[in-house]
Amino acid sequence: MTEANKSLNFLEHLIEEDLANGYSKSELRFRFPPEPNGYLHIGHAASICLNFGLGETYNAPVNLRFDDTNPEKEEQEYVDAIKKDIQWLGFKWDKECYSSDYFQQLYDWAILLIEKGLAYVDPQSSEEMAKQKGTPTKAGINSPYRDRPIAENLALFAQMKNGELEEGSCVLRAKIDMASNNMLMRDPIVYRILKKAHHRTANDWNIYPMYDWAHGESDYIEKISHSLCTLEFKPHRELYDWFLDQIYSEGMRPKQREFARRNLSYTIMSKRKLLRLVEDGIVSGWDDPRMPTISGLRRRGYSPAAIRKFSDLAGISKRDNVTDVALLEFCAREDLNKTTNRVMAVLDPLKVVITNYPEGEEEWLDAENNPENETAGSRKVPFGREIYIEKEDFREEANRKYFRLKLGKEVRLKNGYIIQADSCEKDGEGNITQVNCTYDPLSKSGSNTPESLRKVKGTLHWVSAKHAIETEVRVYDRLFLDEAPDAHAEKDFMEFINPKSLETVKALVEPSLKDAKKGEQFQFQRLGYFCVDTDSSPNHPIFNKTVGLRDNWAKKNK
């Protein structure tokens, strides 16, 4: 698709409309507003790609705004991780902003609210306030403190700020409408007392603004034109606008608009729940390759291009929906197919002895690195009398549809010769321990002899026994066994953890992989895509399986 005929999503239509109605392009400004209370996940990537994508489309600045109004859960570690992930995805923010930078301004505006008679200090317990709130079909009742004199409210609010009042002893509430159809408009809390050190403002503040008060006002301070958030904030829009009405004086008046969250099958997407997986040791950390976090996907071997492609294909929608994780895997595969070199590794080795190959001899065969990319060149792989193949690639007997190795039949060894299985050896329990084969010395791949051009149905990957290096390979399965682990009313998502989501395998790989660097990616032929894990040490690569060559999840679980 070219840029010109690419269809616009509904938010782009909205922006086009605004432009047609008098906004100038130079006024457009967006923001991505993460709360630094966890690592970014693939759902955040949707919002990042949306906001920064709009920035690219309209050549407009995009701020990175840390929505840091809750010191209980926020940490510098998360700020750093979030910045790293956005940069890694390939996006550049204009300004790095923090809601906490606006604490003074927000406080001053709260005083303005009080002075206008639009906010009051309420000392009731949260239970009492909840009782007065009413229900969606029944109006609430006014707090007995609602008409407290302005001067008293100002004095109490100053005491709240100065730390003279206990946590939980009172809150500042906006005076709106206890009979509103929108429950959020029934005198919402604007400030609460929290005597917690903040990761940036330390102990400067004893009160912290609520999300609704902080968000729209921060958008206004930053001159954001379109404040895009997920659907659950739709009912908050009325309050967003009401708060802006009270303080707006001039310039860009931000608009909140909503889009559907990205949900992905077989995983969860809430930072709070992901934190539980980390704290309970279900995973090794936020960047465990099974996590749906950006850092987990990176460690797993997903590229920024694959994640951006996924966000693009999954699109932005108006209604809640679940995206099949198979689409994400498809994007990884498409990308890795083009970019990775092919190598040979055997995850479940079975020894093969080529009885007519001279003992003590070896040769180095030409192997193409990537048939999808001519410039990728070739390498040499060693071959000798003893090799390993996958256990599942040999059977004593099998039907005609089995194109791998079986007694009396031939297969081609990738980059090598045609071999035929003559006999096999077994241990006391009947397990096959070795296959004895003969090879056709004239059948070498690429040698152009009539023997080498002979059609043989199966081709197997293999490694030379003498040269192979033993490495650890981590093979992952879905972290959850259920398609929507957190959508069950009576069951906790933890009940659906897949106990076999990680299998650690001692594998044999071709010697060219000895010097593979952390993060380097390969296609292990016939097995899938793998990357070198960050736990690797020099000369001892550890591989993560990124994704298989085909989608066999659906098949396997029929």
- The catalytic site residues sit at 35, 261, 271
Report what 43 binds from ligand ATP, Mg ion, none; CB cut-off 5-8 Å by kind.
ligand ATP
CB of 225 to Mg ion, least distance (A): 21
Distances (CA, A) of 270 to 30, 43, 44: 23, 9, 10
229 binds ligand ATP (CB under 6 A): yes
Decide: is 269 part of the binding site for ligand ATP (CB under 6 A).
yes
Encoded tokens for 524: 């292990």
Find the shortest distance in angstroms from Cβ 48 to Mg ion: 14
Q: Per CB under 6 A, does 296 bind ligand ATP? A: no
Q: How far is the CB of 262 from ligand ATP (least distance, A)?
A: 4
Contact status: 230 vs ligand ATP (CB under 6 A): yes
Does 271 help bind ligand ATP (rule: CB under 6 A)?
Answer: yes
CA dihedral 287, 288, 292, 298 (to 10 degrees): 60
Q: Which does 262 bind (CB under 5 to 8 A by kind): ligand ATP, Mg ion, none?
A: ligand ATP
What single string gives the DSSP state of each residue in 230-279?
EGGGGGGHHHHHHHHHHH--SS---EEEEEPPEEETTS---HHHHHHHHH
Report the C-alpha gap between 56 and 45 in whole angstroms.
Answer: 15
Is residue 34 close enough to count as binding ligand ATP by CB under 6 A? yes
- For residue 380, the minimal CB distance to ligand ATP (Å) is 47
Q: Which region, judged by CB under 6 A, interacts with ligand ATP, from 33-41, 194-202, 215-223, 389-397?
A: 33-41
Distance CA 516, CA 523 (A): 13
**Cα 256 from Cα 414, distance rounded (Å):** 58
Stretch that binds ligand ATP, among 28-36, 150-158, 443-451, 500-508 (CB under 6 A): 28-36
Q: For residues 91 and 321, what is the distance between their CA atoms, to the nearest angstrom?
A: 26
**Residue, CB closest to ligand ATP:** 43
Q: With binding defined as CB under 6 A, does residue 255 bind ligand ATP? A: no
Residue pair 505/347 in contact (Cβ under 8 Å)? The answer is: yes
Question: What's the min distance (Å) between Cβ of 261 and Mg ion?
Answer: 11
Query: Helix or strand or coil: residue 77?
Result: helix
Region near ligand ATP per CB under 6 A, out of 27-35, 113-121, 383-391, 524-532: 27-35
**Binding flag, residue 65, ligand ATP (CB under 6 A):** no
Helix (H) or strand (E) holding 379: strand 378-384
In the complex with ligand ATP, the residue whose CB is nearer, 234 or 426, is: 234
Residue from 152, 185, 156, 150 nearest 169 by CA: 156
CA 533, CA 20: separation in Å to the nearest integer?
A: 50
Terminal Cα-to-Cα distance of the chain (whole angstroms): 35
- Is residue 53 near ligand ATP by the rule CB under 6 A? no
Question: Quick one: CA dihedral 67, 68, 70, 76, positive or negative?
Answer: positive
Question: How many residues bind ligand ATP, per CB under 6 A?
Answer: 15
Stretch that binds ligand ATP, among 234-242, 266-274, 327-335, 450-458 (CB under 6 A): 266-274
Closest CA to 479 of 272, 294, 288, 270: 288
- What does the block give as tokens for 378? 């070739």
Contact 123, 143 (CB under 8 A): no
Determine if 97 is a binding residue for ligand ATP (CB under 6 A).
no
Q: Which does 317 bind (CB under 5 to 8 A by kind): Mg ion, ligand ATP, none?
A: none
The option from ligand ATP, Mg ion, none interacting with 306 (CB < 5 to 8 A, set by class) reads none
* Two tokens, residue 273: 């729940």
Q: Which stretch binds Mg ion (CB under 5 A): 28-36, 307-315, 376-384, 423-431?
A: 28-36
DSSP summary character for residue 549: S
Is residue 46 within the footprint of ligand ATP (CB under 6 A)? yes
Among 11, 28, 30, 35, binds Mg ion (CB under 5 A): 35
d(CA 359, CA 361): 6
Among 11, 29, 39, 44, binds ligand ATP (CB under 6 A): 44
122 contributes a contact to Mg ion by CB under 5 A = no
DSSP state of 7: P
Kindly indicate which of the ranges 35-43, 418-426, 444-452, 536-544 contains the residues binding Mg ion, using the contact rule CB under 5 A. Answer: 35-43
> Residue 510 to residues 63, 221, 255, 364: CA-CA distances in angstroms?
47, 58, 57, 12
Among 35, 219, 335, 482, binds ligand ATP (CB under 6 A): 35
**Which residues of the chain form contacts with ligand ATP (CB under 6 A)?**
33-35, 43-44, 46-47, 67, 229-230, 261-262, 269-271
Q: Which residues bind Mg ion (CB under 5 A)?
A: 35
